[in-house]
Structure 1
């Protein structure tokens, strides 16, 4: 849906909350869930869709006349697609995902080919005068390369070359069809790119020099134009849960990107669990018991603890962090578990909702980013006491965002 009344800013939710990997399942979810939300939230207005497509769904959508049929369906129901979630390649529900969410990573041609299909799909679906974004893996998973610096450098180089190849394709689309597409790297804890500093370093030391040289060599353009292409078509997906878990200050993180000339392509609006650590051993034991339902087996729930004044310490997953709770010197934990964004406290825990609110208030100062996407994909694995009816929960998230914008929102 349009917000701010300018028809430039778009708000949606990511359909990765609904299980479904093949196109038939995805389309069923759109008909079953998305249309009901549209009826409740924007019955007379165009309704934006944040579409998550697994690799198999992307292949099926490009077969025969399936894409044309979907285009007709969008027109018939006054819906439009402006952003795709291209992060999870394969299964994302009802199975163990954990670190395999990063596979294939940006060193592998499977990731390249999958994203090329997404570019083709989004270019076909994108309305006129709307830019299109695809969020994607932040290169790879850091622990896979932790012990071998040379291999890690090879990952940066291979990823830069693949991203440059896609940049050329997106630049060609814009030149020939007038459609601006961008690929949005989504930093998250323990990924190869997990915070603002690492993204800036990657752009400055790898993407711009390595990718720029590739574009200059293969397309006969100047380095200056190559860098312009890369900055225009490779952006950041700023997930508010991820940056909050990293204890990033929103204003400082955004300033780092702006100073480095790195555009934000999409804000994913999601909230993490914040756990204040008490001194009492009895209270810590109680907190550990209350955290156990969050330590589920499907997704990675990375934990970062704040050790004052020693700084930050990482745990790969909440399951492995829990035994340390009773002895840690930390004053606070934050865990990568997406919880409904309309909740700010569920004692003894809190959420990082304040990070989202700070981002929303800064939107007028970030003119290049017009995409907002609610992303609480963990609904199925939420503790029972937090699990409302799925449509009611998503609608409340929309309503919270609209009420939190810095000026009255027009649907």
Structure 2
């Protein structure tokens, strides 16, 4: 059975009460629109603050809430540690990274919560930082990264043995990070050479926006991951900006101060990467010319062209029908309110439901 949800990181809030309020104010409305009579999986962003606020009573109340509303926890977004909305995040979103004990402790706590909050599924994923932001990462950091990851994988194995619930860590490749391309992801797993008994506890969160920005090809990357026996713990269904020719100049209208909008531009000499839109603008001002540019800006997946430029919706059309139905899908368009005003015409819950309906229609059509 295919499981499809949306990531609650679209809603601001770092506390557990914020999580509950967002479920009440948006999550139930989305469920009513897309899954009124069937159980609805939840993709919860649980910030570090929220993870420390949960106690036995709150856990019991959440489990009861799930039963009351026919919902269940499917996946946790454990990527952003702290504030994710309404204040500049940029490269700080990767901190603390996998060189720190803080990231280890937070992720172990999320593993504990995944087991405690689970009601109807025996497998839950936790998406996390792609090791670190690439700038400032050194070759000498790898032993510490491996030790920290092993500490989490051993924790997840102990949870599995005790509870019967498999919690899987899902590293999420992203532009300008240590894990960026699928090639780097394959090299990472080869380098880490995790013990066989721990390999089932780690995989990747495949974010379609991120890999489309890298100009990767859907069928090829999926084939390479399968050949390397790397588990796709979940797919984040997302779409990026895509500008061709004269459209490239229009990308600057999407420059905003909260999130990092990495760009990858292509011309006859190959791919050129920029850590944010202002760096791309500097290159354009210097006279550099590109045939196409793709930008890490999560735009509504039901839109093929935004007027000023296009999107990478084509990647979703190519990629999603190739997936095994057992892989959970999580729509992740967290930047709705950062879009230009004309793209924010609908109430948020309606837009989220439209995205989920678009995925269902695409996959039903390809069955």
Between structure 1 and structure 2, the one with the greater Rg is: 1
Describe how 1:198-237 pairs up with structure 2 within 5 A. Answer: 198-205=184-191, 207-208=192-193, 212=194, 226-230=195-199, 232-237=200-205
Deviations 1:28-68 (A, max 9, x none): 1111100111122212211111000110011112x352111
Where 2:302 maps in the other structure, the secondary structure is coil
Structure 1: distance between partners of 2:210 and 2:165: 29
Describe how 1:1-20 pairs up with structure 2 within 5 A. Answer: 6=1, 9-20=2-13
Where 2:136 maps in the other structure, the secondary structure is helix
**Is residue 238 from structure 1 mapped to residue 206 from structure 2 by the alignment?**
yes
Give the deviation of 1:154 after TM superposition: 2.8
Structure 1: distance between partners of 2:190 and 2:168: 18
Deviations 1:166-207 (A, max 9, x none): 1112122222221111000000000010011101111111x2
**Is residue 71 from structure 1 mapped to residue 63 from structure 2 by the alignment?**
yes
What is the aligned counterpart of 1:387 among 337, 344, 358?
344
Describe how 1:239-388 pairs up with structure 2 within 5 A. Answer: 239-278=207-246, 288=249, 290-308=250-268, 310-326=269-285, 327-363=287-323, 366=324, 369-388=326-345
Partner of 2:157: 171
Give the root-mean-square deviation of aligned CA atoms: 1.6
Structure 2: distance between partners of 1:307 and 1:108: 38
Deviations 1:78-123 (A, max 9, x none): 1101100000000000100000000000010110111111101111
Q: Which runs of 5+ in 2 are unaligned?
A: none
**Is residue 401 from structure 1 mapped to residue 359 from structure 2 by the alignment?**
yes
Structure 2: distance between partners of 1:41 and 1:20: 24
Structure 2: distance between partners of 1:392 and 1:179: 33
Q: 2:16·2:50 contact (CA, 8 Å) conserved in 1? A: yes
The count of aligned residue pairs is 365
Q: Which runs of 5+ in 1 are unaligned?
A: 1-5, 146-151, 213-225, 279-283
Structure 1: distance between partners of 2:308 and 2:28: 36
Structure 2: distance between partners of 1:111 and 1:90: 11
What is the aligned counterpart of 1:31 among 9, 24, 28?
24
Give the deviation of 1:260 after TM superposition: 1.2
Q: What TM-score, normalized to structure 1?
A: 0.86
Q: What TM-score, normalized to structure 2?
A: 0.96
